[in-house]
Amino acid sequence: ILLEAFRADYFNPVCQALIKVTDPLVKPLSKIIPRVGSVSLAGIAWLYILEVALLFILAAIGGWSMDWSVLFLLAALRLGRMLLVLYLVLIIVNVILSWVGQGFRHPIVPLIYQLTEPVLAPIRRVLPPLGGFDLSPLVAIIVIQFLIILLGV
């Protein structure tokens, strides 16, 4: 979903592998659920359905009685948290690669850059480099951590 939304390199081998794995699930649903711009609502629907199913199974195993509206809201909040945690990890990996990854030619490196750049670029416009150091990842990590705490799931 993120690779499509941020128009990552379609011909990247990592992208191709992810497409081959997810297409059998997403393609049939995408005939029913339309795209919004470059965002695949079918992919988001699958993630949401899987999260609701997981929470339902966990509630059944734990013997909890959960209202359906709470279950649906909790699933949405958990998906939001997963997205934030994913971005937290991607930004940390991006920073580490910027320190040690010069000349590192794995196909995932450009994808990490393509996924983190839409988050870091607006911060860079507001916060210029300080003595050659880019502080935008630090600001992004602090904001993401704050949002994770705010979600509370």
- Residue 142 has a CB neighbour count (10 Å cut-off) of 10
- Residue 57 has a CB neighbour count (10 Å cut-off) of 10
Q: Is the pLDDT of residue 142 over 90?
A: yes
- 38-62 pLDDT, tens per residue? 778 888 898 899 999 999 999 889 8
Q: Which residues, at least 6 apart from 72, have a Cβ–Cβ distance to it below 8 Å?
A: 52
Residue with the bigger pLDDT between 16 and 127: it is: 127
Burial 109-138 (b: 16+ CB within 10 A, else e): bebbebbbeebbeebbeeeeeeeeebebbe
Q: Which residues, at least 6 apart from 27, have a Cβ–Cβ distance to it below 8 Å?
A: 42
Residue 103 confidence (pLDDT): 67
Supply 72's token pair.
């649906």
- Gyration radius from the chain CA atoms: 18
Smallest Cα–Cα separation from 90: which of 72, 104, 110, 66?
110
Predicted TM-score of the model (pTM):
0.83
